Amino acid sequence: MNPVVILGAAAVVGSFFALWWAVSGERAHPVDLGADAGPTTSDMRSMLLRQGAGDRTLKPLIERIGTRVRRVLPSGRTAALARKIQRAGAPEGWTVDRVLAAKVLLAIFFGVLLLIRVLTEPSVFNLILCVVAVLFGYYLPEGLLDSKANKRQAAIRVDVADTIDQIGVMVRAGLGIDAAISRAAKAGKGPLAEELTRVVQDMRVGVSRGVALASLAERVDVPELRGFVNALAQAEKLGVPVSQTLHIQSAELRIKRTQLAEEQAMKLPVKILFPMVIFILPVIFIVLLGPAAIRIMDQFNN
CATH of the domain at 233: 1.20.81
Residue 205 lies in a domain: yes
Residue 162 lies in a domain: yes
Q: What is the pLDDT of residue 38?
A: 46
Residue 11 lies in a domain: no
Does the structure show a pLDDT above 50 at 23?
Answer: no
pLDDT digits (tens, 9 = 90+) for 99-137: 888 888 888 888 888 888 888 888 888 889 889 989 998
206: left (phi over 0), alpha (psi -120 to 50) or beta: left
Does the structure show a pLDDT above 50 at 29?
Answer: no
Of the candidates 55, 84, 63, the residue with the CA atom closest to the CA atom of residue 142: 84
Alpha-carbon span 108 to 131, nearest angstrom = 11
Distances (CA, A) of 275 to 60, 195, 236, 262, 290: 46, 38, 51, 22, 21
With bands split at pLDDT 50, 70 and 90, how would you rate the model's confidence at 264? confident
What angle is formed at CA 286 by the lines to CA 285 and CA 289, rounded to 5 degrees?
70
Q: What is the pLDDT of residue 32?
A: 46
Residue 195 lies in a domain: yes
Alpha-carbon span 259 to 169, nearest angstrom = 24
What's the mean pLDDT when you consider all of the chain?
78
With bands split at pLDDT 50, 70 and 90, how would you rate the model's confidence at 244? confident
Contact 98, 63 (CB under 8 A): yes
Annotate 173-190 with b (16+ C-beta within 10 A) or e (fewer): eeeebeebbbbbbeebee
With bands split at pLDDT 50, 70 and 90, how would you rate the model's confidence at 10? low
Q: Is the entire prediction scored with pTM above 0.85?
A: no
Average pLDDT over residues 253-264: 84
302 vs 24, residue with greater confidence:
302
Domain of 234 in residue numbering reads as 154-257
Alpha-carbon span 163 to 254, nearest angstrom = 11
Q: What is the pLDDT of residue 246?
A: 83
Q: For residue 202, what are the contacts with CB-CB under 8 A and spacing of at least 6?
A: 211, 212, 215
Alpha-carbon span 177 to 231, nearest angstrom = 14
Residue 300 lies in a domain: no
125: left (phi over 0), alpha (psi -120 to 50) or beta: alpha
Average pLDDT over residues 271-292: 85
Of the candidates 76, 138, 144, 66, the residue with the CA atom closest to the CA atom of residue 108: 138
Count of the separate structural domains present in the chain: 1
pLDDT digits (tens, 9 = 90+) for 169-201: 888 888 888 888 888 888 888 888 888 898 899
Residue 39 lies in a domain: no
27 vs 209, residue with greater confidence:
209
Residue 232 lies in a domain: yes
Does the structure show a pLDDT above 50 at 142?
Answer: yes
Does the structure show a pLDDT above 80 at 19?
Answer: no
Residue 45 lies in a domain: no
